[in-house]
Amino acid sequence: MRQLAALVIGVSATHAQVGREVPPTLSAPDETGRIVSFGALRGQWVVLFFYPHDDTPGCTRQAKEFSRLHSEFQRLGAQVYGVSTQSSESHRAFKKKHNLTVPLLVDENGKLSDFFGVKRLMGLCSRDVVVINPQGMVALFRQGVSPDTSPKEILAWLKSNQNSGEAGK
């Protein structure tokens, strides 16, 4: 199993480099079926946390923590979305079961994970976080994040970079 993990980690992927523009036409449905367009999100920060699978222990902890911190992200002008390859029905059940407040985007066809360079193995996304600045540019791409610490780390990064003015450039 360790060899398989090393092989997956070693796979080269074109990922969204910091500074790369996110096309305004890029979009995905959320768990309700509403289409979320990245063009419509311009003017605010966007945090995408990619996770492997609905209702698994690590993914649940991560989604619950992003939900707990959701209002803090919103105070910073940031919209948070969870992203995985499960269906809208799976996402709705996951949200309801765990009282999640963050919207969940459906990436069944891999369009978002492909664009951002999030690796998939057997249909499951790796646990990565992408932050998009208000100008629609990738400001941060973190691969293989911890489900337990990534929500607080991303919030701290956003606070730090907003205060310094660096992330919005």
Residue 30 lies in a domain: no
State the number of CA atoms in the 13 A half-sphere of 35 facing the CB. Answer: 7
**157 touches 139 (CB < 8 A):** no
At 162 the pLDDT is 78
CATH number at residue 74: 3.40.30.10
Residue among 119, 138, 116, 137 nearest 127 (CA): 119
Q: Classify residue 18: in a domain, yes or no.
A: no
**Residue 38 falls within a domain, yes or no?**
no
Number of domains in the chain: 1
Residue ranges making up the domain that contains 48: 44-164
DSSP letter string, 78-93: EEEEEEESS-HHHHHH
Residue 169 is assigned to a structural domain of this protein: no
**Domain assignment of residue 88, yes or no:** yes
Q: Which amino acid is at 5?
A: A
Q: pLDDT per position in the chain (169 positions), as tens?
A: 333 333 333 333 445 678 899 999 999 999 999 999 999 999 999 999 999 999 999 999 999 999 999 999 999 999 999 999 999 999 999 999 999 999 999 999 999 999 999 999 998 999 999 999 999 999 999 999 999 999 999 999 999 987 654 444 4
The one catalytic residue among 59, 124, 145, 154: 59
- The reply to whether 125 belongs to the active site is no
